[in-house]
């Protein structure tokens, strides 16, 4: 999403694009932190950036918002003197792919799952946020797309991107540094609260849960996991997040199958045991119940 407001670079809030365009990025600082040998996470405003460095090239996962590109490139230049050769998008949302055009102009090849290019090429309506996103300029579109998986062999590592079907969107990818044992999970896994599921872009609660199952198979037990938003995380956190998703999904599903309306389901507070930990993000408990309810199949009569 075009997360517009941010506090200390981590708190996000979704606002219509009009508000976003008035956002002042001048005060945003792009910071880097080492995740593993040769892999860094960069934070500024928007989704976490993954950066691989080494003898060959800088390899970047997600690029936040367009106005931040000079700061992002400056932060990368602090860590490597190699050019950015590839930028992989974890999905099409503007807080992850907004810098694509500038990164392309700076010489990077843009790479993403097929559906990312398809959605960036055409107008997208995000009913949940009452937002309409116009098609991106040609220079912002991925020039290399993949359906299921693609592997980059550089910097002494094998870096693999996998498609995760119908999770946060229909074009999500996990990116795995095999040797460094790091995964960038995009917005299928976030730590700021209940996750946004973009139903208008083909997302679903069942896909989010299935995505967590895949995520838990990647890397070793001590794998470092870069979430779409929030601090560097691990498998234990993904397991807890998955259990939360599953519990709420089952409760909402039971009620929907019993013929209850969305309002009736919300009134039973199916998220209540998780609200203290997860309810403080930009997706409120009732909104999360709505996303789950709407993404579940209609009751069979």
Positions touching Zn ion (CB under 5 A) are: 93, 187
Nearer to Zn ion (CB atom), residue 115 or residue 253:
115
Nearer to Zn ion (CB atom), residue 101 or residue 187:
187
Chain CA centroid to CA 4, Å: 15
Is 42 exposed, middle or buried (CB count within 10 Å of its CB: 0-12, 13-18, 19+)? buried
Nearer to Zn ion (CB atom), residue 179 or residue 294:
294
Nearer to Zn ion (CB atom), residue 157 or residue 187:
187
Which tokens hold the place of 11?
């708190």
Q: In the complex, what is the shortest distance from the CB of residue 37 to Zn ion, in angstroms, rounded to a whole number?
A: 28
Q: In the complex, what is the shortest distance from the CB of residue 190 to Zn ion, in angstroms, rounded to a whole number?
A: 8
Q: Are 86 and 53 in contact, with CB atoms under 8 Å apart?
A: no
Q: Are 139 and 114 in contact, with CB atoms under 8 Å apart?
A: no
**Angstrom distance (rounded) from CA 22 to CA 255:** 42
Nearer to Zn ion (CB atom), residue 93 or residue 117:
93
Q: In the complex, what is the shortest distance from the CB of residue 93 to Zn ion, in angstroms, rounded to a whole number?
A: 4
> Among all chains, which residue has been given the structure tokens 């003898």?
55
Q: In the complex, what is the shortest distance from the CB of residue 107 to Zn ion, in angstroms, rounded to a whole number?
A: 26
What is the full DSSP assignment across 252-267?
A: HHHHHHTT--HHHHHH
**Angstrom distance (rounded) from CA 63 to CA 96:** 5
Is 109 exposed, middle or buried (CB count within 10 Å of its CB: 0-12, 13-18, 19+)? middle
Q: In the complex, what is the shortest distance from the CB of residue 18 to Zn ion, in angstroms, rounded to a whole number?
A: 19
Nearer to Zn ion (CB atom), residue 203 or residue 285:
203
Q: In the complex, what is the shortest distance from the CB of residue 96 to Zn ion, in angstroms, rounded to a whole number?
A: 6
């Amino acid at each position: 999403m075009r997360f517009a407001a941010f506090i200390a670079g981590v708190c996000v809030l979704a606002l219509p694009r009009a508000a976003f365009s008035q956002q002042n990025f001048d005060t945003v600082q792009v910071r880097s932190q080492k995740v593993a040998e040769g892999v860094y996470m960069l934070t500024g405003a928007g989704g976490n950036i993954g950066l691989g460095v080494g003898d060959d090239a800088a390899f970047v996962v997600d690029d936040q918002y367009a106005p931040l590109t000079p700061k992002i490139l400056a932060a990368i230049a602090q860590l490597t003197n190699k050019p950015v050769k590839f930028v992989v998008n974890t999905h099409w949302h503007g807080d992850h792919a907004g810098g694509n055009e500038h990164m392309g102009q700076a010489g990077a090849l843009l790479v993403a799952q097929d559906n990312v290019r398809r959605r960036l090429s055409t107008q997208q309506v995000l009913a949940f946020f009452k937002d309409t996103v116009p098609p991106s300029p040609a220079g912002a579109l991925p020039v290399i797309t993949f359906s299921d998986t693609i592997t980059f062999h550089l910097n002494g590592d094998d870096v693999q991107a996998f498609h995760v079907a119908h999770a946060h969107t229909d074009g999500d990818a996990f990116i795995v540094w095999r040797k460094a044992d790091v995964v960038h999970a995009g917005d299928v896994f976030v730590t700021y609260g209940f996750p946004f599921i973009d139903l208008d872009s083909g997302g679903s609660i069942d896909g989010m849960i299935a995505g967590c199952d895949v995520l838990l198979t990647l890397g070793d037990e001590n794998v470092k996991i870069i979430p779409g938003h929030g601090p560097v995380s691990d498998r234990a956190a993904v397991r807890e997040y998955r259990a939360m998703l599953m519990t709420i999904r089952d409760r909402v599903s039971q009620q929907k199958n019993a013929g209850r309306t969305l309002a009736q389901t919300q009134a039973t507070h199916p998220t209540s045991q998780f609200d203290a930990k997860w309810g403080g993000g930009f997706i409120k408990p009732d909104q999360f119940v709505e996303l789950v309810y709407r993404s579940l199949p209609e009751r069979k009569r």
